[in-house]
A and B are shown apart, each in its own frame.
Chain A
Amino acid sequence: MTRVLVTGMGGELGTRVAQLLEARPWASEIVGVDFVPPRRRLRRTEFRRIDPRDREKLAQFVETYAPNVIAHFGVYEPSSRMTPRSAIERTDLCTIATLSAAARTGQLEYVVLRSGLEVYGPRDAHASIPDEDVVPAPRTPYGVSLLDAEGVGAGLRTRSGTQVCALRYAPVLGSHVPSPLGRLLRLPAVPVPAFGDPPFSVLHPDDAALAMVRAIERRYDGPLNIVGPGAASPWQAARLGGRVPVPVLPPFWEAAARIVEIAGAAIAPHVVELMRHGRTGECDRAIDALGLTELRSTQEVLRELFDWAQIVPLATAREAVA
């Protein structure tokens, strides 16, 4: 019997993982924390609303609960649901407070944490498709913050021998997943690089959640890339959604980011990095280790993202009933 703590349960992925855990008998107790409530109805999960900035309260709660397993989604993407600064602050506080408090109880056996391909930095000529052995070299605040979170996990492994798995997700896109990349691609006009059209891969939220649950079940130790097969390019993705691609010359990305922000999609540096240099990773190790044979392809995920934008607004449906 396993007591599981899901941090960041108010996010899309945290909620989905909780749903999957509820269907698994080995998860005897499921408890979640976040500063916003879960996004769907959960049956046997207990939720505590604690803001990671209230570090003592969070640490105290974790210590009292003494989890065996932590599914750490308290890693927040800048410009996704909050400003870059508060996302990084919450990530740092949540990671350190939760992991160190859980380690103190002596009950902790396994930690799986959300990381991202952003840790590899801009895609370069030497490792177009990085595997887990490529040395991370993040160049954006989000990439650095993910690597810091992985570092806290690695420290825990060294000190207490706890197994730690870092899931380096490709950007998770879905019709109702808050994501700066998803918002950018759904603008009427999408900035794309004027020279070159670099490939990037994305991931379906259900696959991201399943990977985390499988990691817990199989107790994989170490980092794993989780990437939807195949790739898209900024220009192609914009056209797939019927958007107008607007070529941007290298010196004007800063200005493009400002304009896009005014248009309603705040884009953080890691999103600009993706558009300009591409982002992908080799997923073979995760497919073998976690049995992820049915990952949805990048193009499938993109089609789903754009399909949703064409759904008839609810008001029309209501009028039809009346």
Chain B
Amino acid sequence: MTAFDYGLDVERAGPAEPLPTALRRRFEGRYAFDGFGLDPHLADLARPVVSTVVRVEVSGEEHVPAEGAAALVANRGFGIFEPAAIGVAVHRATGRRLRVVGAPNVPIVGSIFRRMGAISDSPRDLAVALRAGHLVAVPLAPTWLRTGAGTPPLPLMVAMTHARIIPVAVTPGGPLGTMVRPWRVRFGPLVTLPDPYDAGDPLTAARFAEALRDSVASLLREP
């Protein structure tokens, strides 16, 4: 699945090219995709813009794996800027790309999100992305105006019990998600179950879901 075409990597983020070089590359078609529709060249071009707009403060970087598959489970309020904030934080911590679950299934917008690395919210796609060794962000249910951790999506949980699961807490820099101050992104330690479990079993997934919600909630409570 990993293709290294034209020096572009679907797993690690690359430097943004100067605009004239980048435009020539687009014109000549020397860029590639992965099966989900990620356009690494375009994503690299967009990164400086995104990280200027979405400023982040990161803690717990050491918990983000430098390679291999992992699911980053995060809270979200409205769910618009949180994935971008985690993406910027992950890039700062490891230089890796983040694949965010939940690309909308609508023509133009969906296609733009997919180009930036989003994947659909189907358990099958999540399982494929994890098998391919990607770092995938799985948002909990939106909490809208409340704070705290939302409900973990159970079908997705079943698809990720085989992978490493890392809790992430994202808090906005100002009230209602306004960006007065930088976003705070905190990565927590690996979520594990105390006793042996059968990966892929719905009951395991439910136990993981509970453990996850607790660990995201306690990360959120940290000062």
Contact = CB atoms under 8 A, between A and B. Distances in A.
Please determine whether chains A and B interact with each other in the same assembly: yes
Nearest to B122: A126
Interface string A29-56: 0000000000000000000000000000
Contacts of A320: none
Interface stretch (A207-215, A227-235, A253-261): A227-235
A229 B2 contact: yes
B215 to A, nearest CB: 29
Nearest to A283: B1
A283 B35 CA distance: 11
A126 B28 contact: no
A126 B33 contact: no
Interface string B1-13: 1110110001000
Interface stretch (B102-110, B140-148, B190-198, B199-207): B102-110
Contacts of A223: none
Interface in A196-213: 196-199, 201
Contact of B110 (A196, A199, A233): A196
B35 A236 contact: no
B44 interface: no
A134 B27 CA distance: 36
Given A196-B108, A201-B35, A297 B29 contact: no
B158 interface: no
B86 interface: no
A273 interface: no
Interface stretch (B90-98, B124-132, B174-182): B124-132
Given A128-B120, A196-B108, A230 B3 contact: yes
A22 interface: no
A256 B125 CA distance: 32
B31 interface: yes
B32 A127 contact: no
Contacts of A282: 1, 35, 128, 131
Contact of B131 (A128, A238, A240, A284): A284
A184 to B, nearest CB: 15
Interface string B25-60: 011111111111100000000000000000000000
Given A128-B36, A239-B27, A299 B124 contact: no
23 contacts: A125-B120, A126-B120, A126-B125, A128-B35, A128-B36, A129-B125, A129-B128, A196-B107, A196-B111, A230-B33, A231-B33, A231-B34, A232-B33, A236-B31, A239-B29, A278-B37, A280-B35, A281-B35, A282-B131, A284-B131, A297-B3, A297-B32, A299-B6
Interface of A: 125-129, 131, 134, 195-199, 201, 229-233, 235-242, 278, 280-284, 297-300
